[in-house]
Amino acid sequence: MAAPETTASILADLNDLIGLQPVKDALARLAAVHQLNAKRAAAGEPVIAQPLDLVFAGEPGTGEDEVARIVARLYVSLGLLPEVKVAEVSRPELVAATAEETVARVEAAIQVALGGVLFVDEAQLLIPTTAEDHGDVAITALVAAMEARAGQLAVILAGPTDALRLIVEHHPGLNAAFEELITFPRYTPEELVALFEQKAAALKIKVPTNVLAAVSEHLVEVHADGSFRSARYIPSLLEEMYARMATRTTGASPAELKRGFAVEDVPQPAAATLGDTGVKVGFTAGFEAH
């Protein structure tokens, strides 16, 4: 049986992530508070209780899901939760056509996550848009579960800051979690380049210096446009470049294939298009990112 992970090793993994310095600082502080509480409690001294529930505020594609998995590991290492598991849900898994069905869906999600972390992604989509919308019912049921199962479950809400503040205004039970708001910053162009290098390396595709320079120019330009500043853009860019490389190397020898990407595989920034949701990225040059 593998030895249990230490808090220090988990924080080291967190620090290895590209960017996200405010997140790293906040979680290190959070871990320190829980460690101090454990020492004081063991000595019979009073502590300032620290909720396990968190709010991740930021745009989609800034690493929230990856950090949620680290939080689950962190809580187990600190003795705060029994299992390293994350149940990820969003509106479709929580909201149904009736209030009763919605409560049942929330309870089912809670049961799956019990003992670990329930990660509610894009929580802003739970805000009702019509009188028949049961998003509010889902939030109320989540708040009740957080209160009833304190110490057995950690709920993490992720979404844009303004939308999350609106949710808290209507559900005061979330105030404690909102005190532990952790802000996820947008990635800088340099951080996006580092993410690209990391993912290309994982695919074992070489990125020559001139290609990396072209990728950097591409990312600087789309970042300045303001539309593509999340990590979700990088897989789409890689898939587009992979498709271009495939077309370019049709009939190529194994030796030629080992050369990796070429400058002509880097698309023009103007070719990038936002999907209807503002998250999916496509390229007008003829290939669609999936």
Note whether 162 and 214 are same-domain residues: no
**How many other C-beta atoms can be found within 10 angstroms of the C-beta atom of residue 214?**
20
Which among 140, 162, 183 is the end of a domain? 183
Pure H helices in 114-208: 135-148, 161-170, 175-178, 189-202
Identify the band that residue 60 occupies on the pLDDT scale cut at 50, 70 and 90. Answer: confident
d(CA 41, CA 95): 40
Note whether 130 and 211 are same-domain residues: no
Q: Is the pLDDT of residue 207 over 90?
A: yes
Q: Is the pLDDT of residue 200 over 80?
A: yes
**97 contacts 141 by C-beta, under 8 angstroms:** no
Phi-psi region of 33 (alpha: psi -120 to 50; beta: other; left: phi over 0): alpha
213 is in which domain, residue-wise?
189-283
| DSSP secondary structure code for residue 187 in this structure | P
Q: How high does pLDDT run on average in the chain?
A: 87
What pLDDT is attached to residue 229? 67
Note whether 66 and 206 are same-domain residues: no
**Sign of the alpha-carbon dihedral angle for 51, 53, 55, 60:** positive
What pLDDT is attached to residue 279? 41
Note whether 167 and 230 are same-domain residues: no
- Is 214 within the bounds of a domain? yes
Mean pLDDT confidence for 214-230: 82
- Is 288 within the bounds of a domain? no
Q: Is the pLDDT of residue 5 over 70?
A: yes
Could you read off the pLDDT of 140-172 as tens digits, one per residue?
A: 998 888 888 888 899 999 998 888 888 887 777
| Domain total of the chain | 2
Note whether 162 and 224 are same-domain residues: no
Note whether 105 and 239 are same-domain residues: no
What pLDDT is attached to residue 289? 35
Identify the band that residue 222 occupies on the pLDDT scale cut at 50, 70 and 90. Answer: confident
What pLDDT is attached to residue 288? 39
CATH of the domain at 122: 3.40.50.300
